[in-house]
């Protein structure tokens, strides 16, 4: 799904015009980007969290020559999906994980 398809979906679900949905979606994206760029964390309960993360400097290799090169430290945007989002994408995974953890704990006690 691209941005225009998202706008169409929002307009249909919210019963608003595409122009209004475009304004809302664009404003939301701009607000999230500005907040994260400013160092804030944006948490949408059930959906997920947007934040900036620091990546440490590291050594890499030039793929064509194999020569080592230094990759500088940087700051990157990151998204962590919330529980409701994860459950919607892969229903039952959280239940299976906790069930298998309980089973392994029970086996360890025996």
pLDDT at 99: 53
Q: Which two tokens stand for residue 82?
A: 């919330």
Question: Closest Cα partner for 78 from 106, 99, 48?
Answer: 48
Inside any domain, residue 10 = yes
Q: What domain count does the chain have?
A: 1
- Residue 96: pLDDT over 60: no
Inside any domain, residue 19 = yes
- Residue 97: pLDDT over 80: no
**What are the C-alpha distances in Å from 45 to residues 53, 64, 65?**
20, 45, 47
**Least confident stretch, 24-33, 42-51, 52-61, 92-101:** 92-101
> What does the pLDDT look like over 45-94, one tens digit per residue?
999 999 999 999 999 999 999 999 999 999 999 999 999 999 999 988 75
> Residue written as tokens 């979906």?
9
The count of C-alpha atoms lying within 13 angstroms of the C-alpha of 84, restricted to the half-sphere facing its C-beta, is 6
Inside any domain, residue 78 = no
Range of the domain at 35: 1-40
Rounded-to-integer distance, Cα 87 and Cα 48, Å: 12
Q: Which two tokens stand for residue 63?
A: 């793929």
Rounded-to-integer distance, Cα 84 and Cα 10, Å: 19
* pTM of the predicted protein model: 0.73
- Residue 103: pLDDT over 80: no
């Amino acid at each position: 799904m691209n941005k225009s398809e998202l706008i169409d979906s929002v307009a249909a679900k919210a019963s608003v015009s595409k122009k209004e949905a475009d304004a809302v979606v664009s404003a939301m994206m701009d607000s999230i980007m500005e907040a994260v760029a400013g160092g804030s964390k944006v948490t949408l309960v059930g959906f997920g969290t947007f934040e900036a993360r620091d990546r440490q400097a590291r050594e890499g290799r030039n793929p064509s020559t194999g020569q080592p090169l230094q990759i500088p430290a940087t700051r990157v945007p990151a998204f962590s999906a919330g529980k409701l989002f994860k459950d919607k994408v892969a229903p039952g995974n959280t239940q299976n994980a906790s069930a298998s953890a309980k089973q392994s704990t029970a086996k360890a006690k025996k």
